[in-house]
Structure 1
Amino acid sequence: MNIALRWQSLPGLALDAEQLGHLASLCLKLEVETYPKPGLVSHVDNGAHRDMDAGLLCRSANILTPFFCDLAAAGAEGAGMNRLRAIGVAAERAMLAATSGVNTHRGAIFGLGLLCAAAGYRNAVGIRKSLGRLVSERWGEDILSGPVSLRSHGAVAARRYGAGGARGEAAHGFPSVYDLALPALHAARKLAPHDEEAVRIQTCMTLIADVNDTNLLHRGGSEGLHFAQASASAFLATGGVGSPGWRRRAADIHHAFVARNLSPGGSADLLAMTLFVDRLEV
């Protein structure tokens, strides 16, 4: 069964921990099955990456599935941040072992993992708060006060350029997902009602245009970030996926990112999180 069919075959909103874990993994694979995304790996090419391809990313997503399940189950049991962090560390070790040390999904383990935990908690308690709000309320202080990764390129860039990074995003309830990406995704479905890949591309472009992506800062500094944001903004200003010839323009932007070695990995993670939240929020 292909990724789209597996996505469609999942049941409704109240998924159990195992289903939530599989949903999170599917969202990572749907992000890969999206082209053209500027500078990012897809089923078509490797983007600006020399150390990973679509097959590696999909294998990584499969490796992470049981850990996402564990995070959802831990959330359902009311776990604190220390337990969630321990599961996340184990997930990262398994990822690195499976990829020979390539960081395929460190950011997604963190962001999607917290959303899995929030979904598990919400199902167990039976409340109607958004997943982002639950993450912020239950674990936000611990996220900000917890240990800082010294190895992550994104964390280094966040410190150097003063960007909020993944920690700030999660602690504040994922505003880039709820205030930016979800509205863009819903609007894109009106522009391209029969093309979910186009919807994902429009959502990804919206994220690139507005997020201070620490992966872009790491690869290209402030100049690279500004180039990326301007390119995505120009695509959206001309109608995005609702305008004729949009695929060619999106591919041109993709190739320009590759030429500059730019890859908005933070936006890719946020796209996967947006797909996850979209499936679960009313």
Structure 2
Amino acid sequence: MTSREDESLAQAAVAALTGQLALVPKPGLPDPRDLAARVTRQDHCGLRWSAKALAPGLAAMAAAARRTGEATPRLRAELGAIGRCTEHSVGLAGGGHRGALWTLGLLVSAAALDPRARGAEIAQTAKRIVGYPDRGAPRRPSRGSSVSARYGAAGARGEARAGFPHVRRALDALGKARSAGAREPEAQLDALLTVMSTLQDTELLHLAGPLALRHVQAGARGVLEAGGAATPAGREALAALDADLHTRAWSPRGSAGLLAGALFVDSLPLASSPRTANARTRVA
């Protein structure tokens, strides 16, 4: 049975995901301009709808972590089972968000497991959870694990086992951009570009291979080196990268889920007391 705290964490995670979806322009990724889904093949309105289907599963993960009270093999197995059921529910609601479910599920569970943790501490708690194997996982390799093995990329599991380094980098980028006076959407776009600039995105590798990955990483670095989304030169570089990736139909989807994870962690109250139902992501 879930509590108010569990429901609050789940709603904060869904708000982070829908907040990420609302950002414009996201190079190669679904945003409000892509209503016909001609390039990304994922309709923005449909993705917003299916994001809401994550909430019950995320609340159940938080409840499982809070009830268990520590990272254990049993908790890892329970979270895996809940995640697979949630993935099925999201599929019935329209699909999408598989990578975000993995990231947000672990981070929500970590936040429930250690209510005083904030920022990078939450990522480290998630690392302890995923350190145990999910013995109920299907035996057949997933597409992501196959791509990881082929190209030597960390993949979603490697990202979690390393303590979500790209979530932490996105959090740092948010703080840096805000301190420099960027508006919230600009700060979030800089955080996304920071992830894109170094992430070995298995979705992109599967879609277009290592040359495409290096092209996207270089493009994201170029925008940041031009000053980021808050500067005229950075906005010009961002528009060019956005047009380029849409023309090529290259979609760095792994970066989007990690940004949502960072926005979720960033949304948690700063106080060290247990979080309340007011936790929500910052949006413009």
TM range (shorter): 0.7 to 0.9
Paired residues for 1:42-53 under 5 Å: 42-45=31-34, 46=37, 48-50=39-41, 52-53=42-43
Partner in structure 1 of residue 268 of structure 2: 280
Partner in structure 2 of residue 7 of structure 1: none
Residue in structure 2 matching 1:244, options 222, 232, 239: 232
1:157 matched to 2:152? The reply is no
Measured against aligned partners, the alpha-carbon deviations of 1:194-237 in whole angstroms (never above 9, x if no partner) come to x2111111111111111111111111101000100111111111
8 Å CA contact 1:192, 1:241 repeated in 2: no
4+ residue segments displaced more than 6 Å: none
Go from structure 1 to structure 2 and tell me whether the alpha carbon gap of 1:149 and 1:64 turns closer, same or farther (over 3 Å shift).
farther
Separation in 1, partners of 2:83, 2:16? 18
Letter in 2 for 1:168: G
1:110 matched to 2:132? The reply is no
Paired residues for 1:208-227 under 5 Å: 208-227=196-215
Partner in structure 1 of residue 78 of structure 2: 83
8 Å CA contact 1:41, 1:54 repeated in 2: yes
Of 230-239 and 244-253, the range deviating more from structure 2:
244-253
Q: Which 5+ residue runs of structure 1 have no aligned equivalent?
A: 1-14
2:39 is paired with a residue whose SS is coil
Go from structure 1 to structure 2 and tell me whether the alpha carbon gap of 1:21 and 1:86 turns closer, same or farther (over 3 Å shift).
same
Letter in 2 for 1:257: L
Partner in structure 1 of residue 127 of structure 2: 136
1:41 is paired with a residue whose SS is coil
TM-score by length of 2: 0.85
8 Å CA contact 1:48, 1:257 repeated in 2: no
Identity %: 36
Letter in 2 for 1:251: A
Partner in structure 1 of residue 280 of structure 2: none
Of 77-86 and 127-136, the range deviating more from structure 2:
127-136
Residue in structure 1 matching 2:247, options 259, 275, 281: 259
Measured against aligned partners, the alpha-carbon deviations of 1:69-99 in whole angstroms (never above 9, x if no partner) come to 1111111011611110110000000011121
1:69 is paired with a residue whose SS is helix
Q: Which 5+ residue runs of structure 2 have no aligned equivalent?
A: 69-73, 271-284
- 1:146 CA displacement: 5.8
Separation in 1, partners of 2:197, 2:124? 24
CA-based RMSD of the aligned residues comes to 2.2
1:120 matched to 2:112? The reply is yes
Go from structure 1 to structure 2 and tell me whether the alpha carbon gap of 1:127 and 1:277 turns closer, same or farther (over 3 Å shift).
closer
More helix by share: 1
Partner in structure 2 of residue 93 of structure 1: 88
8 Å CA contact 2:223, 2:235 repeated in 1: no
Number of aligned positions between the proteins: 259
TM-score by length of 1: 0.85
Partner in structure 1 of residue 222 of structure 2: 234
Go from structure 1 to structure 2 and tell me whether the alpha carbon gap of 1:135 and 1:145 turns closer, same or farther (over 3 Å shift).
farther
Partner in structure 1 of residue 258 of structure 2: 270
